[in-house]
Homo-oligomer: A and B are copies of this chain.
Amino acid sequence: MTVVMRGRPPRHRGDQVVGAGGTPTRGLSNDHGTSDDKMTPVSSPVVSLQAQPLFAALDEAELTSLADRAHLRRYAQGDVLFAEGSACEGLYVLVSGRVKIFKTSASGREQILAVEEPGSSFAELPVFDGGPYPASASAMSDTEVLFISRSDVRALCLERPEVALKILQVVAARQRRVVAVIEELSFTTVRHRLVSWLLRQAATSGRPSARGSIITLPSHQELAAHVGTVRELVSRNLTRLQAQGFIAVEARVITILDLQGLEADLAASE
User: Closest CB-CB distance, A12 to chain B, in whole Å?
Assistant: 33
Q: Which residues of chain B come closer than 8 Å to A165, judged between CB atoms?
A: 128, 154, 157-158, 164
Q: Restricting to A123-154, which residues have a CB under 8 Å from any CB of B?
A: 124-126, 128-129, 131, 134-135, 154
- B106 A270 Cβ-Cβ under 8 A: yes
Q: In chain B, what residue has the closest Cβ to A132? A: B176
Contacting residues, chain B, for A157 (C-beta < 8 A): 161, 164-165, 168
Quick one: which of B109, B162, B171, B187 contacts A168, CB cutoff 8 A?
A: B171
How many copies the complex holds: the figure is 2
B124 adjacent to A187 (CB under 8 Å) = no
Task: Please report the total number of A residues contacting B with Cβ < 8 Å.
Answer: 43
Q: Is the CB of A103 within 8 A of B168?
A: no
The answer to whether the Cβ of A167 comes within 8 Å of any Cβ in the partner chain is: yes
Query: How far, in angstroms, from A103 to B183 measured CA to CA in the complex?
Result: 7
Minimum distance in angstroms from A179 CB to a CB of chain B = 5
A40 at the interface (CB under 8 A from B): no
Contacts of A173 in B (CB 8 A): 129
Q: State the Cβ distance, A33 to closest chain B Cβ, in Å.
A: 17
Q: Which residue of B lies closest to A177 (CB)?
A: B134
Tell me whether A186 and B105 are in contact in the complex, defined as CB-CB below 8 angstroms, given that A135-B179, A161-B157, A179-B113 are known contacts: yes
A169 contacts B106, CB within 8 Å? no
What's the least CB distance linking A107 to chain B, in Å?
A: 7
A182 to B135, CA, bound (A): 11
List chain B residues, Cβ under 8 A from A162.
158
Listed A/B pairs (18) with beta-carbon separation below 8 Å: A103-B183, A103-B187, A106-B270, A107-B187, A109-B187, A111-B182, A111-B187, A113-B182, A126-B172, A128-B165, A128-B171, A129-B176, A131-B176, A154-B165, A164-B168, A175-B178, A178-B178, A182-B182
Where the two chains meet, the residues of A that have a C-beta atom closer than 8 Å to any C-beta of B are 103, 105-107, 109, 111, 113, 124-126, 128-129, 131, 134-135, 154, 157-159, 161-162, 164-165, 167-169, 171-176, 178-183, 185-187, 228, 270
Ordered nearest first, which 5 A-B pairs have the shortest CB separation?
Answer: A106-B270, A164-B164, A105-B187, A129-B172, A128-B168
